[in-house]
Structure 1
């Protein structure tokens, strides 16, 4: 095992020897007009090795490597050991040349050249491979300054290790072996480059939103939808399609986006199209022609690291989707997309349907008022299915909530059936309303109170919101204050907040010192518990949001009528100012490091 300090000492010794060798060879080549051509080549390679080792030195001095150890068979150790052996050999052989300046006569100096041609060329080739491999490691390190880069290379490319540990022999077979190994590492970096291009297309991550929704879905709910004639004609829905065509990835493509009214900044047409294109490239890059991938990389580089234009992204999406025998585009909650971006998005999708009538399939969900807009915008009259929670869906949900109740056995079958029937009969095709209704009943602490709550249970969604907010306010003072703050900040914030941002903000509101007290951060689970289901956390991305757009519309109506949260924006602004004014520990003044710990500063 070797620690960074020992590694740095070895590198320092190599740099010193390389400088001496470079000086000697340069003087020899300069003074001897008829010096062998390989003398200049050897000078270049030794100089290149010194240069790359000097760049490597600060990398190993970084904090990431303070407690890191290098196995003797690791890539870096193997290279350094092999370099020491070869450089020591070259240094020893060039000893005679160091006195060449004292020797008169070009012919005598020429005779002092210590290498046979084949031997020198072999050393040149060996050094070149060392430099090439070290450069690959440095490129990877620059992409992600972390020991994780080294560890990943060690783990995934053991073939590189095998090649390098044999380099001292410098045989032709070994050189071929190291060449293959370096190519493998370079392939990995090319894939990393493509991934970087893909990620730059859009900040949206639909797959994370999908996984979060999937994790909350009750088994068998919505299966009726798969049995409708319209669905069987369209053959859609993300999980169903993914499973159905899992063995035909090269011929089938599925892409999807989730529109979200709370993410207006990122939910632009260019980002939505970019998210679709990103999915195609991430899932199917190996099935696409190399010239297409190269063209995408070139275009990204030509934009000077900026985003591709909406027109270009749209054209690329059309080009790539038309390479598949069949492709599906799914857009959820189109009504939650801002109107100007919604029009651009639909306009971008329209040509796909016009030019690929037999291969293109579009699935869109939205509230009822979106139907006429979609029908007008698309070239083909869409099939329409009204999605409402079936009685079976609601029964399964209510049964599940009843079974989870700690006092389930204290309620007789007749009362449980009464709860079930009343909630099913008032659900009006919604799942959100039954969720609030059953919660308002089961929170009661006696059978009599539960029966009274069932009798007074709200039968409309707005009434359910009002009753739930009343329940939040009737909690103990600490829980009530936290619950209403969560609701206020989640509703009024200019963008969706991460849970850690919200916790830091709430710890700041009542803070009287000039530093943040981390012990004052509220527990994450109480952020949702105190809100009785009106806010939820997307676990995949740690964002907190209102349970549904209908709740946002309800709160917006009340806010505009000046009935709720009138001090909200002042409180948020004041909290942000206090947070920005917190003192930074004089022993921890590195603003970059500090920035990573003050989560609300980003907002």
Structure 2
């Protein structure tokens, strides 16, 4: 119920109607019609009150209902007064004294004034019924829409549970204002975005900032699609940790899912695909997904498909087949394809016919990034503009196209204790092909220099993230590191705060806010630890195996397998590492 219209407004009228029915209950047949409509009005008033209380009234509904309520109040008051005109009070003698009794005047027909009032009451009944019916129809429409939305969500989830939006949002949050504008302003990008059936391939060295710039492109295209629903946008972030799930079917289904999500109604071709395969309890074939994808893409005037980190996509046929299917889609539907990758000959060969633009860390972008993180540095840096300028100049010089180096170099300055140590570090900033290993070595040396408990926890965090076969959520890692060998249950007092895990890892670990995935800052970090695992955590696999076996031996799992899906889902919810 809205603020300006209360339940009391209805109750007062209902009470008046009930009072009239009670006071004139013994009325002769000439007044029966009037009392019957009063009875009907009380029921309809109650129905309208229930309908109005179920959800807020719009201002128009509130005004209309208030007018009807006032009309009912006035008519009932007038009817009560008129009925009283046809009664007389008669004194009767009883054993305990005189008693006043209401008697009715003798009439042969229903009086005209009563007939007129009865007609007016009926009009208000009709108005209230119309209001209740409209509310019911609105509720029915909403229910149907809700059911359709639920069906659509079920079909989209069946296509693929993957959702790249949280990653997109997390990557955009890392971007400093203005980063990547050079790409959007480039002749290559403008030509690509303005012309149908175009491909723009953007290769770059490791750590050049390809993923962040991809998120900038997705955001630019999304803005265009929001103002023009005839434009479709789909994007994929390939991830070396998700190669097992990022199959050809998954990747194509993800593109289809995103194009379908942007439509106001579910295309019939998608419903048909779902109905055909759902009964078999199987997933659609690549060819069937491709056919439906072409059908859905054809409903748009423009379709843009963006793929980041093709080099992290499975090479065993998946990457080549996906590009082949997207090429067919481009030929038949005029779609535009934007892709990034490292400089891998096999991938470069597949894009030789299209336009290309190398992604390198732009000096202005690096400058802006450092500006945005000056607050992370010690106070003696924050208070010295000349030192800030020196830091920016030296880092930009050392980066040489590798944006990630700016982050690593800046992280290396956070713990410095004086201006002299900062300047000394700036003189030793590594550059060139070996810069990453040098920076990662330096980060690990900072970790080694921490207190023993912090050092050990940092190495546990890094080893779990590096060796895990899929991305880990923060709660999963917290559970893993809280397991104590020899115990039969988890002690939540043994949890380490996520912010502590991140801070003791010297800038090598980050948390994606929306997905709550805790990960290494870059693919090059993963590659570094794979090469140097024996040096930093040689027993990682054995330690992880011991933890997992201990976890599975907990008392909570001794009941055995889960007999129902809901039981299994509850177990996963209560025991995140079990997933």
Report the TM-score when normalising by structure 1.
0.66
1:222-241 superposed matches below 5 A: 222-235=180-193, 237-241=217-221
Residue 524 of structure 1, aligned match among 498, 520, 524: 498
For 1:544 and 1:177, how far apart are their aligned partners in 2? 48
Establish whether residue 244 from structure 1 lines up as the match of residue 220 from structure 2: no
Cα shift readout 1:5-56 (whole Å, capped 9, x = no counterpart)? xxxxxxxxxxxxxxxxxxxxxxxxxxxxxxxxxxxxxxxxxxxxxxxxxxxx
Q: How does 1:199-598 map to 2 (within 5 A)?
A: 199-235=157-193, 237-249=217-229, 251-286=230-265, 291-304=268-281, 306-340=282-316, 341-356=318-333, 359-369=334-344, 373-376=347-350, 381-408=353-380, 412-459=384-431, 460-508=435-483, 510=484, 512-559=486-533, 562-584=534-556, 593-598=570-575
Preserved CA contact (<8 Å) 1:194 1:297: no
Q: Using the TM superposition, give the Cα deviation of residue 413 of structure 1 relative to its aligned residue in structure 2, in angstroms.
A: 3.8
Q: What is the CA–CA distance in structure 1 between the aligned matches of 2:470 and 2:144, rounded to whole Å?
A: 39
The CA distance in 1 between the partners of 2:303 and 2:495, in whole Å, is: 47
Counterparts of 2:382 and 2:222, CA distance in 1:
44
Whether contact under 8 Å (1:330, 1:364) holds in the other structure is yes
RMSD (Å) for aligned C-alpha atoms: 3.3
Distance 1:156 1:498 in 2: 40
Shift of 1:315: 1.4
3-state SS of the aligned residue for 2:537? coil
Deviation at 1:186, TM superposition (A): 3.0
CA distance in 1, matches of 2:297, 2:418: 59
| Matched residue SS, 1:445 | coil
Answer yes or no: is the 8 Å Cα contact 1:503–1:522 preserved in 2: yes
Residue 596 of structure 1 and its aligned partner are, at CA, apart by 2.1
Q: Could you tell me how far 1:558 is from its partner in structure 2?
A: 2.0
Q: Take 2:536 and 2:425, find their aligned partners in 1: how far apart are those partners?
A: 25
Secondary structure in structure 1 of the residue aligned to 2:341: coil
Once residues 226 and 396 of structure 1 are traced to their aligned partners in structure 2, the CA distance between those partners, rounded to angstroms, is 17
Larger CA Rg, structure 1 vs 2: 2
Change (3 A) 1:155 1:513: farther
Unaligned runs of 5+ in 1: 1-72, 74-153, 163-170
Which residue does 1:599 correspond to in 2? 576
Q: CA deviation at 1:354?
A: 1.9
Structure 2 equivalent of residue 89 of structure 1:
none
**1:560-588 per-position Cα deviation (integer Å, ceiling 9, x unaligned):** xx33422111111100111111223999x
Distance 1:347 1:294 in 2: 25
* Cα distance, 1:213 vs structure 2: 0.5
Contact persistence 1:473–1:484 (CA under 8 A): no
* Structure 2 residue matching 1:495: 3-state secondary structure: coil
- CA distance in structure 1 between the partners assigned to 2:179 and 2:570 by the alignment: 46
| Alpha-carbon contact 2:378-2:416 (below 8 Å) kept | no
**1:440 positional shift:** 1.1
Instruction: Report how far residue 296 of structure 1 moved.
Output: 3.7
1:195-227 CA-to-partner distances (Å, cap 9, x unmatched) read 111111113211111011111111111111111
Higher RCO (CA 8 Å, separation ≥ 6 residues): 2
| Residue 470 of structure 1, CA deviation | 1.3
- Name the CA distance, whole Å, in 1 between partners of 2:301 and 2:569: 49
Using the alignment, how far apart are the partners of 1:409 and 1:451 within structure 2?
A: 11
Deviations 1:437-477 (A, max 9, x none): 12212311122222222233333111111111111121111
For structure 2, the 5+ residue unaligned runs are 1-6, 8-53, 66-128, 194-199, 201-216
Q: 1:217 to 1:363 in 2, by over 3 A?
A: same
How far did 1:504 drift? Answer: 0.7
**Deviation of residue 301 (structure 1)?**
2.8
Which string of whole-angstrom CA distances, capped at 9 and with x for unpartnered residues, describes residues 342-372 of structure 1? 122112111012223xx311100111225x5
SS in 1 for 2:146: helix
The SS at the match of 1:245 is helix
Task: Report the structure, 1 or 2, having the larger strand content.
Answer: 2
More deviation, 389-398/411-420 = 411-420
> By how many angstroms is 1:593 displaced?
4.2
Conserved 8 A contact 2:486-2:550: no
State how far apart, in whole Å, the 1-side matches of 2:557 and 2:388 are.
Answer: 58
Q: Is the partner of 1:204 in helix, strand or coil?
A: coil
Is contact 2:511-2:517 (8 Å) kept?
A: yes
Query: 2:302 touches 2:335 (CA, 8 Å); kept in 1?
Result: yes
Residues 185 and 406 from structure 1, CA distance in 2 versus in 1: closer, same or farther, beyond 3 angstroms? same
Q: Is the 8 A contact 1:327 1:360 kept in 2?
A: yes
Alignment of 1:15-164 (within 5 A): none
CA distance in 1, matches of 2:357, 2:131: 66
Distance 1:585 1:317, change over 3 A: closer
Distance across 2 between alignment mates of 1:224 and 1:583: 58
- The Cα of 1:156 is off from its aligned counterpart by 9.7
Shift of 1:511: 5.0
Cα distance in 1, alignment partners of residues 553 and 544 from structure 2? 14
Preserved CA contact (<8 Å) 1:273 1:345: yes
